[in-house]
Amino acid sequence: MIHFTLYSRTYCHLCDDMLAALRALEIVEPMSIAVIDVDADEALVAKYDELVPVLLASKDEQAAQQLCHYFLDEAAVRTFVARV
C-alpha cells in the first residue's frame, strides 16, 4: 500500500488544491492519505513552515520520501507509484 502524508494548514488554499489534485489522480495501487496540520506541532512548523503544503510518500514500512511542495507534481507522484 502506498501511503501519502500531506503536511498542511487549515486555512491554506494551496493545501486544499494539492489534496484535491492528489485525490483526482487515478492511481491503481491501494493508497491512503493522511493530512497533518503543521501548526499542531512546533517541530513540524520549524521543518515545513514556509514549504506548506508538502507531500511525502512511502510504501509499506519504507522511509517516506518528499515528492513536492506548494503544488502537486503529478510526474513525481506517478514516478513514485511506478517504482513501487
pLDDT digits (tens, 9 = 90+) for 1-14: 899 999 999 999 99
Instruction: Could you list the beta-strand ranges (E) of 1-84.
Output: 2-8, 31-37, 54-59, 65-69
pTM score, whole prediction: 0.93
Q: What is the CATH number of the domain that holds 71?
A: 3.40.30.10
Q: What is the average per-residue pLDDT within 38-59?
A: 95
Handedness of CA 76, 33, 63, 70 (dihedral sign): positive
Q: Is residue 28's pLDDT more than 70?
A: yes
Distance CA 6, CA 36 (A): 6
Number of structural domains (the chain) is 1
Domain residues for the domain of 33 are: 2-83
Residue 26 has a pLDDT of 85
